[in-house]
Amino acid sequence: MRVLVTGAAGYIGWAVVHELLASGDQVVALTHRTDTSFPATVEKRHADLLDRASLTAAMENVEGICHLAALTHARASVEHPTRYYRANVTGTLNLLDAMTESRQGPVSRIVLASTCQVYGAPELQPISEDADVRYINPYAASKVAAEQLLGWQAATGAVGATTLRIFNAAGAAAGHGDLDPSRIIPKAVAVALGSAPQVNVNGDGTAIRDFVDVKDVARAFVLALHASEPGGHAIYNVGAAPASVLDVIAAVERVTGRSVRVQHQPAHRAEAPTLTADTSRIRAALGWRAESSALDRIVHGQWSAVTQNVP
């Protein structure tokens, strides 16, 4: 299958590109960046999600889409809600329209990267896809709106759509780790490396989150894309390894053999004590398994990626 990947130069996008290649698919990478060195077999195209004409042109000879391009920081979305809706909702709307306007005929498959933040902080754990959406920031709300757009478009029979609600993607794929220091694993690894002074921990560090290796996330995209059928919209959780903040720090120290300095600060009142994924649906429907998501293995991937160019 010839697959267009939006956000191909991003952290998860990079992993999806390489997983598609490994599965025998042809990849068209849609990106704004000019400095990204994709494998030679990847075709690069440039388009803006807010520019319908460029998007329509980018659909040439494409059969499916993995849609990862988005703004993704919850705190920033509170300060810039219109920016997040414009990128995440209008961008998805334009993409869906461009799929139907392709000169070679409609593009019939799409997989959307969504987030566990659409659930808010439900009491019942692990969280199933049937849980109510209780988004508490514009980022999550924009993702819910994008999911709904996919659902309505699929209901017309124009596309087969899948939404992947990703919990905490981590680790590395094809030599690329997570560069976002706001997330616990890259931050703890940076402290172990000596490029950050400390990890700030809210409360006692016992809050549990669900981590999943980025390679396992990428495999979910490939499986979902190939399984999609026009008229259907499937929603799946993607998670694997529940761990507390203290568990993550201990794993980083264990894997790296270095200490990680921790600074405790007051807990956030709104922070849920536990957020874990029920993944029974994706395992049953797609045969997906978390093959690389043991916590130490995730940390090792991140550590190897960030130290490969360090003397």
What's the CA gap between 69 and 63, in Å, rounded? 18
- Tell me which of 85, 135, 139, 236 is the catalytic residue: 139
139 flagged as catalytic: yes
* Selection from 148, 147, 153 nearest residue 109 by Cα: 153
DSSP string, the chain: -EEEEETTTSHHHHHHHHHHHHTT-EEEEE-S-SS----TTPEEE---TT-HHHHHHHTTT--EEEE------HHHHHH-HHHHHIIIIIHHHHHHHHHHS-TT----EEEEEEEGGGG-S-SSSSBPTTSPP---SHHHHHHHHHHHHHHHHHHTTS-EEEEEEE-EEES-BTTB----TTSHHHHHHHHHHTSSS-EEEETTS--EEEEEEHHHHHHHHHHHHHH--TT-EEEEEE--EEEEHHHHHHHHHHHHSS---EEEEPPPTT--SEE-B--HHHHHHH----SS--HHHHHHHHHHHHHTT--
| 160-166/109-115 β-pairing | parallel
What's the CA gap between 184 and 170, in Å, rounded? 9
Active site positions, annotated: 139
